[in-house]
């Protein structure tokens, strides 16, 4: 999982760098389509990082909660997943 987390950090750093590039492109009044393509690259990196974070969560925290004997903890964990999924689909 450490390699997975390293890839998440890499994606987030690339997104951060690309976001700065989008800002500079806007300030320099670059061609709109070029700016939008760069912006889509940022969105792709963030979506990829989000997906990897979700996978890690499901394989660790979520799995632990489902294996626990606590019905309350299971419900809470399911609600958290549903909440994050709704936010991601907005």
First to last CA, the chain: 28
Instruction: Give pLDDT tens digits along the chain (90 positions).
Output: 578 899 999 999 999 999 999 999 999 999 999 999 999 999 999 999 999 999 999 999 999 998 988 899 999 999 999 999 999 988
Which pair of tokens denotes residue 43?
A: 């969105």
Q: Which domain holds residue 80?
A: 2-88
10 CB-near residues (< 8 Å, 6+ apart): none
pTM of the predicted protein model: 0.86
Number of folded domains in the chain?
Answer: 1
CATH assignment of the domain containing 31: 1.20.58.1000
Count CB neighbours of 54 within 10 A.
15
Q: What is the pLDDT of residue 2?
A: 77
Q: What is the pLDDT of residue 9?
A: 97
């Amino acid at each position: 999982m450490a390699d997975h987390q390293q890839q998440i950090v890499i994606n987030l750093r690339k997104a951060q760098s690309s976001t700065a590039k989008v800002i500079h492109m806007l300030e320099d009044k670059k061609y709109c389509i070029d700016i939008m393509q760069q912006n889509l690259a940022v969105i792709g990196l963030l979506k990829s990082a989000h997906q990897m974070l979700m996978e890690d969560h499901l394989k660790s925290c979520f799995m632990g909660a489902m294996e626990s004997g606590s019905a309350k903890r299971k419900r809470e964990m399911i609600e958290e997943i549903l909440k994050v999924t709704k936010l991601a689909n907005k």
